Amino acid sequence: MKKFNHEYLNEALTAIKFKELTKVQEHVIELFDKDNDLVIEAKTGSGKTHAFLLPILDSLDLNNKGIHAVIVAPTRELAIQIHKFTNELIKHSPEEIISHLYVGGEDKDSEVEWLKTRQPSIVIGTPGRLHDLVIKENVLKIYKTKYFIIDEADMTLDTNFLEQVDNLAATVQNAKFMVFSATIPDRLKPFLRKHMNKPIILEVHPEEISNLNIKHYFIKTKEQDRFIYLKRIVSSINPYLAIVFCNTKESADQVYEWLKNEGKNVCLIHGDIDYRKRKQIIKRINNLDFQYIVGTDIISRGIDIVGVSHVINFELPRDFEFYIHRSGRTGRIDFDGVCISIYEFNDNSYLDKLESRGIKTEYKAIKSNQIVDAIVRNSREKRVRPENELDYEAKRKVKKPKKVKPGYKKKYKQAVDKEKKVLARKKR
């Protein structure tokens, strides 16, 4: 295990039982002192947070009270998580290190008053609140920061946040930029070219989505109402925990009400749900109070939900890369995960792209509450796919999970408890 220059960091890592660096952490620490900016592409759960926190804190001059680093995160939950990890590391410091969290829903007036007389060493926040304090109020002085970090960049630099983050980035002078993301889609590249200095692009993918224990089922609507197919899907599965993804808050509201009317134990999470209520809901999810979660892409990353046995795409995400994040919510423990997507004829090119990434798509129908192979009548039937053991298994009917082996829920819960411990270690 690497020893850091600041002894308090070594003490902190011992206290949280941090034993070894992940691949992402090793690479980032190795490249940290180079003049180049960094673009790190690595999946969620690979240890990205500590990959930037550890070298940033190790390079901090404890006698300098100016802003040392600015960390931008797309969601309140992720920003809070980063802030929590930061406080775990700095609490052993012999000198005070001030880390402040700036997210929506907090008292902005008191934040403004505090910032008029002092500045934190570490700034962590969401784009909207940071933009208010830096650009509108002009009280958070980030222009001299040494490090500017964007976490989960493909969400942070989404259309809704791009202008705000662009303005923030334009404010800083001579900062080292570090961008972390599970994927780097083409739409981010103009921002990277504009703000980054000869970036080193590092891809760390120890486990590709195509290698996870996930079956990808696609069910065609035949241009009928999606709720007809959602009803069939729900009738054919008995999930330990299922996430139903929607593209908009409006459709999420509709699906939530529909499932509730169907008598399902369901909760709703999206950006319009008050943070305190979201926090309560997540606590109840982890207590297994629900069998279904309905939400938008806010829950595809940045919120810890363990034990997802099924993902249902009520609508395919507009951005292809978000399919990866959604489906990656399942298949994470000692059981297979299932991602079931409702699609239309116009989605064929979208599915071609998924297959080009190595995702094994299976086309299904539902008959007598069982998921069975579909008769594919479009251009996809012309494809010749190798006959192997996996293909053979895919052709078998998938029985309704109510007929699974005795003790299914108990065994799954044991695996979930184990995964929670593994996830906690990976975050370090």
At residue 396, the pLDDT reads 35
At residue 385, the pLDDT reads 43
pLDDT at residue 246 tops 90 = yes
Same fold, 7-204 and 211-427: yes
E strands, 172-213, where? 176-181, 200-204
Q: What is the DSSP letter of 184?
A: -
At residue 58, the pLDDT reads 96
Q: Please tell me the distance from the alpha carbon of residue 122 to that of residue 178, in angstroms, as a whole number.
A: 15
The residue assigned the tokens 């593994």 is 422
Q: What is the pLDDT of residues 86-125, one digit of tens each?
A: 999 999 999 999 999 999 878 899 999 999 999 999 999 9
E strands, 108-238, where? 122-125, 147-150, 176-181, 200-204, 214-220
Q: What is the pLDDT of residues 135-172, one digit of tens each?
A: 999 999 999 999 999 998 888 887 678 899 999 999 99
Q: Which pTM does this prediction carry?
A: 0.69
pLDDT at residue 207 tops 70 = no
User: Domain segments of the chain: what residues?
Assistant: 7-204, 211-427
Question: What CATH architecture is 211-427?
Answer: 3-Layer(aba) Sandwich (3.40)
CATH superfamily label, 7-204: P-loop containing nucleotide triphosphate hydrolases (3.40.50.300)
